[in-house]
């Protein structure tokens, strides 16, 4: 196990470096083809060349290669990697704030959003999947099947938008007109967008929207897994020796069926953190996805590289943890 | 020797008309099962409808979607304008019909690219193994780690030019890894099978082994996944437009229609719901078709 983890951790190195180079190359090409983004800070005034050059240097975009179209800027990449790995310096944005600080600031929002989504998806997804799996072919089974497919087919931005308008604005307005409803409910939970006064309450509905997409996958996975296990030998044995239905379902079927579901949820946490972008845009949550996208628009290369690399790391680490968790939950799996 | 060759020709021509007395091929069986599956048939019918909208929009409407009249703006649905008119007075039904074209072109081009790139790389990785596999697998890891939408936004922000081809290109670059992994898994398990070994022993060249013997047995999961990808690309195109990095306003796509009219949602919900509904049905049809294909192509589920 220890050796397996070591090997996986070593494999992270080329993956992360590769992703960083990809991002570095992209942002460099962007700058090469659409001129120095620092120039945009001056608006319609023409800055003296020395000033522009010095400011570009200070913002980490002064390298000569950023003016040559198509140049992969290997020198700049090596510099950036040296700063990051030797001095833990990810660079600054255009307001001279360190990238590490920006990420640390926006991360809590995204993590809270992802946790709410994960909780929703775990509870509702597993319950729906178990109901559908235990009563294969029943009304419940069809209901779960139809609703999960429906949710998958609605693009999340349409879902989020319609929920915001109907639940946050329309229904929220009704609630806000009633005196005895506490502000936490009317302003927070049904407040239509994120509000810093209600750091958890106003993220509940965005979290539900975010979680609804993978909810369907969780429910379907639980269903198939339950279906497979109810046909297995040990469940038949448990029934044959006269155990009660609750024990057969709760202990023998459910515990084994949940192994793939738990691992799916683990991987999904990484996906949710990286994929919260649309939900963050619709509900105005100042999370990490919005940070990276806004920086891509303004050409703040170091924020894009730092933020996206962080998300790649989150993805890699969650998938490693999930693989370890899999071996712990299922003794049949052994890594050497 | 002749036994071996006839055995392999049976496998390599899966689509060939099955003779009654002999057990049919995988695809023949699948087709017979699919023909009786109402969900598959309905999905297929809807996809044919949408494809015809994309290829020959005049079949569905004679109104030019760009012939707009501001004095006719914001009309509710009527017999003349089935979906009403948009805020600048264009016939919304004609818009919705013409919107199918670019959405579908992006999805089809991107899926074709993904299958080609992912399929070839996955096949090479699994077939040659050793350092080829290590190299390709590492590249897959790199691309897989980059969050899909975030990557797409960064790519398209950099590209500046957003048309059908660049959007499709970005989708290909960010999704080929899924197909590559599926293909790699399929080829890895197919390449150890007896008839492949036999073909190799008989002196079959590498390309013959790959295309004639391994590919037909590894392609089924790729086809299933590609069908689902087609649907999700239709949705992703709209999502990218919503994020401001997809196709832009003069272009007519469902994504542009939804994004343009979302501010009027509370007054004129139809302007959002009609294109969103068409989008939803199309995505749904592709997903259901993929599901039906998966069930039909997996012999264990029969």
DSSP secondary structure, A168-204, as one string: IIIIHHHHHT-TTS-HIIIIIIT-SS--TTSTTGGGH
Handedness of CA A78, A83, A88, A89 (dihedral sign): negative
Q: What is the pLDDT of residue B111?
A: 93
The pLDDT assigned to B12 comes to 43
Is the per-residue pLDDT at B20 higher than 60? no
Asked if pLDDT for residue B5 goes beyond 80, the answer is no
pLDDT in tens, B129-179: 788 888 888 888 888 878 888 888 888 887 777 888 888 999 999 899 888
pLDDT at A305: 86
DSSP B43-59: HHHHHHHHHHHHH-GGG
Higher pLDDT, A181 or A160: A160
* pLDDT tens, residue by residue, B241-250: 888 888 887 7
The minimal CB distance from A34 to the residues B153, B160, B262 is found for B160
Q: Find the mean pLDDT for residues A51-68.
A: 78
Interface contact flag, A278 B148, Cβ < 8 Å: no
Predicted pLDDT at A100: 87
pTM (2 d.p.): 0.82
From chain A, the residues in CB contact with B151 under 8 A are 308
Taking only the tens place, the pLDDT of each residue in A172-228 is: 888 888 878 787 777 777 877 887 778 888 888 899 999 988 888 888 888 888 888
Q: Is A185 left (phi over 0), alpha (psi -120 to 50) or beta?
A: alpha
Listed in sequence order, the residues at least 6 apart from B22 whose beta carbon sits closer than 8 Å to its beta carbon are: none
Of A29, A153, A169, the CB nearest to B283: A153
pLDDT value of residue A142? 85
Query: Å from A242 to nearest chain B CA?
Result: 30
| Residue A70 CB neighbours (<10 A) | 9
pLDDT digits (tens, 9 = 90+) for A131-142: 888 887 778 888
Work out the angle at residue B179's Cα, subtended by the Cα atoms of residues B176 and B184, and round it to the nearest 5 degrees.
Answer: 120
Mean pLDDT of B229-238: 89
The mean pLDDT of A310-321, rounded to a whole number, is 87
Q: B142 vs A156: CB contact, 8 Å cut-off? A: no
Question: What phi, psi does A98 have (nearest 5°)?
Answer: -60, 145
Q: Which residues of A77-101 are buried (b: 16+ CB within 10 A; e: fewer)?
A: beebeeebeeeebbbbbbeeebbbe
- Are A269 and A260 contacting, i.e. CB atoms less than 8 angstroms apart? no
Is the distance from CB of B176 to CB of B114 less than 8 angstroms?
yes
Q: In which residue are the tokens 């926006």 written?
A: A106
Q: Is the pLDDT of residue B72 over 80?
A: no
Distance, CA of B197 to CA of A52 (rounded, Å): 66
CA dihedral A290, A293, A299, A300 (to 10 degrees): 40
User: What are residue A92's DSSP bridge partners?
Assistant: A98
Conformational region of residue A267, where left means phi above 0, alpha means psi within -120 to 50, and beta covers everything else:
alpha
Interface test with B, best of A145, A155, A280 (most B CBs within 10 A): A155
Per-residue model confidence (pLDDT) at position B300: 61
Contact status, residue B221 vs residue B179, Cβ threshold 8 Å = no
User: What count of residues does chain A have?
Assistant: 336
Give the model's pLDDT for residue B14.
47
Q: Which of B39, B136, B154, B240 to mutate: most A Cβ within 10 Å?
A: B154
The residue of chain B nearest to residue A301, with distances taken between CA atoms, is B154
Task: Give the pLDDT of residue B299.
Answer: 63
Nearest to A193 by CA among A172, A214, A211, A179: A172
- How is residue B253 written in tokens? 């796509």
Residues near B158 by Cβ (< 8 Å), separated by ≥ 6?
A: A26, A27, A29, A30, A33, A296
For residue B8, what pLDDT band results from cuts at 50, 70 and 90? very low
Q: Label residue B24 by pLDDT band (50, 70, 90).
A: low
- Chain A residues with CB under 8 Å of B238 CB are 155, 157-158
Distance from CA of B200 to the nearest CA of A (A): 32
pLDDT at A287 over 80: yes
Q: How confident is the model at residue B115 (pLDDT cuts 50, 70, 90)?
A: very high
- How many Å apart are CA A201 and CA A191, to the nearest integer? 9
A23 interaction partners in chain B (CB closer than 8 Å): 146, 154
So what's the pLDDT on residue A75?
A: 80
Average pLDDT value for chain A: 84
Q: State whether residue B92 is helix, strand or coil.
A: helix
* Minimal CA separation from A167 to chain B, in Å: 12
Question: Residue B112: pLDDT above 90?
Answer: yes
* Minimal CA separation from B191 to chain A, in Å: 24
List chain B residues with CB under 8 Å of A33. Answer: 158, 160
CA-based max dimension of chain B: 79
Length of chain B: 302
Contact B154 A155 (CB under 8 A): no
Q: Which H or E run includes B243?
A: none
What chain A residue is nearest to B173 in terms of C-alpha separation? Answer: A22
**Residue B16: its pLDDT value, please?**
46
pLDDT in tens, B275-299: 888 899 999 999 888 888 887 877 6
Q: Closest-CA residue in chain B for A280?
A: B243
Tell me whether residues B147 and A29 touch, CB distance under 8 A: no
Write the ipTM.
0.81
pLDDT higher than threshold 50 for residue A73: yes
Q: Which pLDDT score is estimated for B113?
A: 94
Confidence band, pLDDT 50/70/90 cuts, at residue A119: very high
């Amino acid at each position: 196990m220890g050796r397996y983890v070591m090997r996986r951790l070593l494999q992270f190195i080329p993956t992360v470096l590769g992703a960083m180079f990809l991002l570095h190359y992209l942002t460099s090409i962007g700058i090469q083809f659409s001129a120095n983004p620092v120039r945009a800070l001056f608006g319609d005034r023409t800055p003296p060349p020395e000033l522009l050059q010095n400011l570009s240097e200070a913002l980490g975009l002064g390298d000569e290669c950023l003016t040559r179209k198509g140049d992969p800027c290997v020198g700049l990449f090596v510099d950036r990697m040296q700063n990051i790995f030797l001095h833990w310096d990810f660079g600054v944005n255009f307001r001279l704030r360190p990238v590490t600080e920006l990420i640390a600031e926006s991360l809590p929002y995204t993590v809270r959003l992802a946790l709410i989504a994960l909780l929703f998806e775990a509870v509702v997804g597993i319950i729906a999947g178990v109901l559908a799996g235990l009563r294969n072919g029943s009304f419940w089974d069809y209901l779960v099947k139809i609703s999960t497919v429906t949710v998958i087919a609605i693009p999340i931005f349409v879902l989020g938008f319609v929920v915001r308008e109907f639940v946050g604005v329309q229904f929220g307005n009704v609630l806000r007109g009633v005196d005895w409803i506490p502000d936490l409910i009317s302003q927070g939970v049904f407040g239509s967008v994120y509000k810093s006064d209600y750091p958890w309450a106003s993220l509940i509905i965005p979290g539900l929207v975010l979680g609804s997409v993978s909810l369907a996958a969780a429910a379907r996975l639980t269903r198939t897994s339950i279906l497979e296990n109810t046909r297995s030998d040990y469940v038949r044995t448990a029934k044959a020796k006269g155990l009660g239905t609750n024990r057969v379902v709760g202990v023998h079927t459910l515990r084994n069926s949940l192994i793939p579901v738990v691992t799916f949820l683990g991987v999904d946490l990484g996906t949710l953190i990286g994929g919260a972008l649309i939900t963050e845009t619709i509900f105005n949550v100042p999370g990490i996805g919005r940070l990276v996208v806004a920086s891509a628009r303004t050409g703040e290369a170091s924020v894009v590289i730092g933020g996206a690399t962080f998300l790649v790391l989150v993805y890699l680490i969650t998938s490693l943890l999930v693989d370890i968790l899999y071996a712990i939950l299922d003794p049949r799996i052994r890594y050497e | 020797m002749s036994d071996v060759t006839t055995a392999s020709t049976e496998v390599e021509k899966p689509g060939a008309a099955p003779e009654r007395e002999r057990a049919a091929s995988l695809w023949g069986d699948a087709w017979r099962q699919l023909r009786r599956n109402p969900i598959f048939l309905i999905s297929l019918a809807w996809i044919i409808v949408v494809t015809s909208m994309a290829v020959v929009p005049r079949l569905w409407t004679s109104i030019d979607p760009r012939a707009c009249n501001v004095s006719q703006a914001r009309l509710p649905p009527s017999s003349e304008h089935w979906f009403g008119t948009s805020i600048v007075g264009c016939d919304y039904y004609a818009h919705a019909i013409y919107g199918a074209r670019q959405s579908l072109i992006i999805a089809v081009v991107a899926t074709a690219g993904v299958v080609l790139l992912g399929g070839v790389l996955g096949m090479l990785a699994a077939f040659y193994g050793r350092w080829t596999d290590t190299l390709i697998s590492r590249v897959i890891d790199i691309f897989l780690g980059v969050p899909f939408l975030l990557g797409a936004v960064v790519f398209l922000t950099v590209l500046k030019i957003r048309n059908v081809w660049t959007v499709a290109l970005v989708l290909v670059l960010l999704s080929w890894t899924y197909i590559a992994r599926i293909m790699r898994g399929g080829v890895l398990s197919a390449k150890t099978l007896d008839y492949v070994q036999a073909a190799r022993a008989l002196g079959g060249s590498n390309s013959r082994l790959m295309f004639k013997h391994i590919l037909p047995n590894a392609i089924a999961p790729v086809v299933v996944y590609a069908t689902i990808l087609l649907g999700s690309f239709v949705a992703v195109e709209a999502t990218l437009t919503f994020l401001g990095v997809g196709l832009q306003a003069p272009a007519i796509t469902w994504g542009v229609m939804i994004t343009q009219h979302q501010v009027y949602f509370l007054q004129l919900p139809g302007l959002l719901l009609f294109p969103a509904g068409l989008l939803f049905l199309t995505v749904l049809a592709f997903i259901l078709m993929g599901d039906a294909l998966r069930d039909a192509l997996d012999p264990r589920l029969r």
